[in-house]
Structure 1
Amino acid sequence: VSTSQEVEVVILEVDAEKRRISLGLKQAQPNPWESFAEAHPVGSTVEGEVKNSTEFGLFIGLDNDVDGMVHMSDIAWGMSGEEALSLHHKGEVVKAVVLDVDPEKERISLGMKQLERGNVPAANAGSSLQRNQVVTVTILAVTDGGLEVQAGDDGAIGFIRRSDLGRDRDEQRPDRFQAGQKLDAMVIGFDRQKKPNFSIKAMQVAEEKEAVAQYGSSDSGASLGDILGAALNKARDQQN
């Protein structure tokens, strides 16, 4: 700001005895961390300049003059945090994935290794997975196109497309999921880099076909609800 410039402020305090009024300029402006969260949801990719390198991570300059931090453990796969830190320097422009935004604490957590899936260890080649296999996966990132997931705790990393999130259209919304959530999905194939593609919809269809095969078909007079109900009851009996 400069002299003679007009600005909007918020009155913070009025001290009648001292004839003093305390004003706040930033309180009249949008919260930059909230604005950043709206423009860059978790899972989106951002680019910025390395403002500082500390013993525990990198600080990256982002939009609206806010900084995000990449913890040393989220810089690169297959090496120690100290080794990963030594690969980057102040002034370097890097890309990263938004992992978390906390406007109250004015903190943005970023990850760079999440963009390097091709360099994730051999387990990610997907060789241990088989087509039509049902596995438990953990959601790493939620995007408009679907979910990036990892089989098990440290297994192959793949993707569930938006259209494979469920049979019904209202189930095919990525925003109903969140990072860190675990769910079951079926392996439906592999891409050119041998990364697995998963599908919740294919698993649901397979489970339905299996239930119909075991408990009868609608041609026999049983409704699909009766068939699936019988399968569910058997599953519960086996658990008990």
Structure 2
Amino acid sequence: MTQFTDKNVLVIGGSRGIGAAVVERLAADGGQVAFTYAGSQDAAAALAEKTGAEAIRSDAAHRAALVETVASRGALDVLVFNAGLLVLGDPLELDPDAVDRMIDVNVRAPYHAAVEAARQMRDGGRIIVIGSVNGDRMPFAGGAAYALTKSALQGMARGLARDFGPRGITVNVVQPGPTDTDMNPADGPMANDMHSFMAIKRHGTAAEVAGLVAYLAGPEAGIVTGALHTIDGGFGA
């Protein structure tokens, strides 16, 4: 496929899991892809070699470094923000610094990355943020802070869709449910509990999520914006 030929693509948080699947899909479809990573240097190098994408070390928690990275890519056609942290536990016992870092990565970083990308982005560009079905539903204890960060993305996308709409730039959130990644493996200790909430009782795959991202980034989704796209096997139904 060649729908992203000559398209300038940046994936924030692309070395593993859903981000790596997005890099693979958009590169396979012809995109000129760069991706960031924070700590997974070996995984990033392997992915870059496999796909021909450019790996850039940049920590999404540091605003100045993030903004500089986005700005350095010039006029993007597609920005996919996938970086994210998961902090779970009793809110009375959680480390507040860990919660604040999660907010930095999951909320502040996608906002600043999207705004910086829009400064140079070509008309008709695409901004896609990977959220979570937990922005709609948190069915177990200990997830309040994480759900807060994913719900925040919903308002951000709706607002930025209005701001950037006159230029034909779309802003969307993809909301995966349980997805087989290092963060949430299909054979993990919570898998059975998660599947009990689902209509299709299995974890999704990162490639399935990447397929939805590719649609939203592609030419057929030019009128789709300010929307939440849940891909969760019925977890939130």
TM-score by length of 2: 0.25
Could you say which structure has the larger radius of gyration?
A: 1
More helix by share: 2
Determine which structure has greater relative contact order: mean sequence separation of CA pairs < 8 Å that are 6+ residues apart, divided by chain length. Answer: 2
